[in-house]
Amino acid sequence: MENQYNIFIICKTKQLFHDKVVSLSPYDKHINSFHFVKSVFLEMNQDNFEKTKKLKTRYNTSMKSRIRKLGCIYAHRNALRKIVKIKTQNNLILEEDATLFDDLPNPPTHSAYMGGWIVPKKITLAGKQQVVIPELNLGLNQINFDKIKILMTHSYFVKDTVTANTILKVIESKQPIKNYDIFLNDYKFLHNFYYPPIFVQENHISDIDGKVNKNALRSHNYDLEDT
């Protein structure tokens, strides 16, 4: 449907998927379909240790963290595979901790982040220096990759199967891959972000770090300074 979303939700269980569907039910007129994508938790074994060699991480990243990061990539890969297989348009990919923050609008005209954390281009400044964007449009805003990156992948919009397949091909190639959110930035797959954010990341224990992080605060208004 031209003005409806096909929503792919990455969740640990069918019950969590069901709860997320219920939370979005007030926006049924904007939604064509929901799809369950099971979270991926890889076992700590030698086969999976070998698979982590594809990851580009800091030299001191623990194997446990590498395994979890790879599981996150695989879960998003599986969502993209579903999109390509069933040939859906207006695809919204959500992680289970994505919480609707604003009304669900009509599908954007281009692929875009629907929430996240906007940080300086120099990633070491993330969390230390907020970004100021003097002019923000309601709706789509173009990402200036010379100045900013967008971290977090709890909610992003993939307009068509061409975009989904483009991302998927790189994931499935022999090319090394960084954390999923950094990977999306490095390859500039998404050129826009939606403002104000439609989804924020709720307080939760990170499946990667195993601890409560500050993403709930960072994803509020993309952590932008008041302009």
Q: What is the pLDDT of residues 148-196, one digit of tens each?
A: 999 999 999 999 999 999 999 999 999 999 999 999 999 999 999 999 9
Cα–Cα nearest to 171, from 155, 195, 153, 159: 153
CA 64 to chain centre: 21
Give me the pLDDT at residue 69, please.
96
Q: What is the pLDDT of residues 15-29, one digit of tens each?
A: 999 999 999 999 999
**Whole-prediction pTM:** 0.93
Give me the pLDDT at residue 2, please.
77
Q: What is the domain extent for residue 31?
A: 5-223
Q: Is the pLDDT of residue 44 over 70?
A: yes
State the Cα–Cα distance between residues 208 and 17, nearest whole angstrom: 20
pLDDT grade for 7, boundaries at 50, 70 and 90:
very high
Q: What is the pLDDT of residues 71-127, one digit of tens each?
A: 999 999 999 999 999 999 999 999 999 999 989 999 999 999 999 999 999 999 998
> Residue 115: which CATH number?
3.90.550
What's the structural domain count of the chain? 1
More confident residue, 130 or 168: 168
Give me the pLDDT at residue 211, please.
54
Mean pLDDT of the chain: 93
Give the chain's length: 227
Structure tokens at 134: 């003097």
